[in-house]
Amino acid sequence: MSDLSTTTSHVSLSPWGQAWRRFRGNYAALVGLIVLGIVIFTAIFGPAIYGIDPFEMVWAPFSPPGVDGYILGTDYLGRDLMAGIINGARVSIIIGLSAAFMSVVIGVSVGALAGFYRGWIEEVLMRITEFFQVLPTLLFAMVIVALFGASLPMITFAIGIVSWTAVARITRSEFLRIRELEFVMASRSSGTRPLRIIFSVILPNALPPIIVQSALMVGSAILFEAGLSFLGLTDPNVVSWGQIIGSNRQYILDAGYTVTFPGIAIFITVLCISLVGDGLNDALNPKLKDR
């Protein structure tokens, strides 16, 4: 009896459910997910809970960590570094998510259309993809931000516009594979409208590698933003981790903690995203488990 029930419970789980099971078993990915959850929680609720304005000068400058109740110390203007890190989480996450979202939308569209329609549409779209692939990403983004202003939307746009090619390639590759499968051929020959085939038939099956890539893109968008901020191409009215590193760079010699803590924050966030991405990969592509 017990055997039957276990067998039944296995059979009744959807592919997504099975994937989740696998993910759960991956301890590294779980830890990553939990920590990531903490980071996101901090980004959303942190500023309200912690209460200190990261721009306000609350104490003597360069107060070392742990002194006088300021856990992470103060920076060159006497501003609370902890407040900077908590508020910075918001900007970093927002930019990370938005830029990744933009890249995914563009990339999936391009890849799907190319992979589905083939022929000259595919040629043109692939040329465009290779064109963007050849552009030096950081330099191009730097130029965009320098020319059109360093506001949050512009930075997001600049990051998004140079990062979509990987998603496009993967999407197209998946579409090429899936469109030849029997059930898809059936839809195609039965006269279903192409857009419907793309979105309802092929795309859901192409999702696994796209999801994995999207997750990794959030991480790389965060790193990208940090790089731009480090170089000074940042919105001066908001705090971001990369910006804290950039403005404190000249103090690394004896106030290194001002650079170390935001660096650790970025590192942990991106690391967790990578772990979760890996976990998703293992969970969604069990056959390619060791990739």
Residues in the site for another protein, rule: CB under 8 A? 55-57, 60-62, 76-78, 126, 130-131, 133-140, 142-150, 173, 219, 223, 226-227, 230-237, 242, 245, 247, 249-256, 259, 263, 266-268, 270-271, 274-275, 288, 290-291
The CA-atom distances, in angstroms, between 35 and each of 92, 93, 222, 258 are 15, 14, 16, 22
Cβ proximity of 72 and 81 under 8 Å: yes
As measured in angstroms, the least distance from the Cβ of 88 to another protein is: 13
As measured in angstroms, the least distance from the Cβ of 259 to another protein is: 6
Residue number with CB closer to another protein (66 or 256): 256
As measured in angstroms, the least distance from the Cβ of 122 to another protein is: 9
Residue number with CB closer to another protein (87 or 234): 234
The CA-atom distances, in angstroms, between 249 and each of 59, 233, 255 are 20, 14, 9
Separate counts of helices (H) and strands (E) for the chain? 13, 0
Q: Which amino acid is at 69?
A: G
Q: Which amino acid is at 215?
A: A
Residue number with CB closer to another protein (86 or 235): 235
Q: Tokens representing 161?
A: 């516009």
Burial 180-201 (b: 16+ CB within 10 A, else e): eeeebeebeeeeeeeeebbeeb
As measured in angstroms, the least distance from the Cβ of 159 to another protein is: 11
Cβ proximity of 131 and 264 under 8 Å: no
Residue number with CB closer to another protein (127 or 189): 127
Residue number with CB closer to another protein (60 or 105): 60
As measured in angstroms, the least distance from the Cβ of 30 to another protein is: 16
